[in-house]
């Protein structure tokens, strides 16, 4: 029995659309090095908010780091601390509050009156507003359950080409069971040592986030690059340190003083990112 031509045509179109969807993610040119805005432009804007991310994107950063946690009702929100006390006008543990309760809190006034009414964003809101060509450093404030849920949302938003999970080994394993394509930044026993470098290579991680010390051993960064591991460093807010980190082979230093450290990158001929956004679906 022959397959009707109309059915063949529909199948062909479907496969082409699937191929193009995957190709669209793969064809985005990602930065090879640059400045990572730690919790967004948090020196001038309330951390982990859409306002801080919009400012970081406006300035032309190459990577944005943000923290994701689970609410009482299992929703994914951006919050660094275990409690909301420091960065909102409320109090209590994130895990004891529902999303509606979190959304009722002011997450901006603590930083400045001009940010009054800024709300804690969800992961979905954050992913939806990001450019396609910026690295998304997704720091998990939890383990397996959080990793699984975050991975599903990254896949749903078609952000696998740019988002990676900064997490420990248990969370990484849970995420990979959801989708093997998810990128991982090894945060297990985070340090600035050869042991941490070797453990990161052994686990086949995509990123490392070196931590501590005044400098980085160029032999370590050379080894990481040879193994295809991208190199982050936390944290640096002084011009000389950022210059030295780039010279030593660090690709993305995490900074709080975003605009000032971008000027350091400018002098090193690292072009600021020109954000590429997806067409609006509204």
Pick among 3.30.470.20, 3.40.50.2000, 3.20.20.190, 3.40.630.10: CATH of 31-267: 3.20.20.190
What number is the average pLDDT over the span 191-211? 98
- pLDDT score, position 26: 56
206 pLDDT above the threshold of 70: yes
CA atoms of 162 and 277, how far apart (whole Å): 13
9 pLDDT above the threshold of 90: no
- pLDDT score, position 24: 44
CA atoms of 217 and 85, how far apart (whole Å): 39
CB 123 within 8 A of CB 50: no
CB 77 within 8 A of CB 71: yes
pLDDT tens track for 224-240: 999 999 999 999 999 99
CA atoms of 141 and 80, how far apart (whole Å): 7
- pLDDT score, position 111: 98
pLDDT tens track for 240-268: 999 999 999 999 999 999 999 999 999 99
CB 247 within 8 A of CB 267: no
What number is the average pLDDT over the span 28-56? 98
CA atoms of 79 and 272, how far apart (whole Å): 27
Q: For residue 222, what pLDDT band results from cuts at 50, 70 and 90?
A: very high
Looking at every residue in the chain, the average pLDDT score rounds to 92
What number is the average pLDDT over the span 52-69? 98
- pLDDT score, position 280: 78
- pLDDT score, position 214: 87
13 pLDDT above the threshold of 80: no
> Collapsing DSSP states into helix, strand and coil, what is residue 134?
coil
Task: Give the position of tokens 């290579």.
Answer: 201
Whole-model pTM: value is 0.91
202 pLDDT above the threshold of 80: yes
- pLDDT score, position 27: 83
- pLDDT score, position 20: 38
What number is the average pLDDT over the span 160-185? 98
For residue 39, give the nearest of 86, 75, 78, 84 by alpha carbon.
78
Q: What percent of the chain has pLDDT over 70?
A: 90
What number is the average pLDDT over the span 38-66? 98
CB 134 within 8 A of CB 273: yes
The domain spans of the chain are: 31-267
Count of residues in the chain: 282
pLDDT tens track for 91-128: 999 999 999 999 999 999 999 999 999 999 999 999 99
- pLDDT score, position 282: 54
**β-bridge partners, 183:** 164
Q: Phi-psi bin for 106: left (phi > 0), alpha (psi -120 to 50), beta?
A: beta
């Amino acid at each position: 029995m022959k397959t009707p031509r109309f059915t063949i045509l529909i199948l062909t179109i479907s496969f082409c659309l699937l191929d193009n969807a995957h190709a669209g993610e793969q064809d985005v040119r990602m930065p090879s090095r640059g400045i990572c805005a730690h919790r967004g432009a948090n020196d001038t804007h309330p951390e982990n908010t859409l306002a801080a991310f919009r400012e970081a994107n406006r300035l032309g950063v190459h990577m944005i780091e943000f923290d994701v946690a689970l609410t009482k009702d299992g929703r994914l929100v951006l919050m660094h601390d275990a409690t909301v006390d420091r960065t909102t006008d409320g109090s209590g543990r994130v895990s004891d509050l529902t999303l509606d309760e979190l959304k009722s809190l002011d997450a901006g006034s603590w930083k400045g009156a001009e940010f009054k009414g800024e709300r804690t964003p969800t992961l979905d809101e954050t992913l939806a507003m990001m450019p396609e060509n910026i690295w998304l450093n997704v720091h998990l404030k939890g383990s397996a359950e959080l990793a699984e849920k975050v991975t599903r949302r990254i896949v749903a938003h078609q952000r696998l080409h740019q988002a990676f999970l900064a997490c420990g080994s248990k969370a990484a394993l849970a995420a990979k069971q959801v989708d093997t394509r998810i990128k991982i930044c090894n945060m297990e026993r985070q340090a600035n040592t050869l042991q941490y470098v070797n453990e990161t290579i052994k686990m086949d991680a995509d990123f490392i986030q070196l931590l501590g010390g005044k400098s980085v051993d160029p032999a370590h960064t050379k080894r990481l690059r040879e193994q295809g591991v991208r190199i982050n460093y936390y944290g640096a807010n002084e011009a000389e340190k950022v210059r030295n980190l780039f010279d030593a082979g660090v690709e993305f230093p995490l900074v709080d003083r975003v605009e000032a450290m971008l000027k350091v990158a400018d002098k090193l001929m690292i072009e600021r990112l020109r954000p590429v956004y997806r067409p609006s679906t509204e």
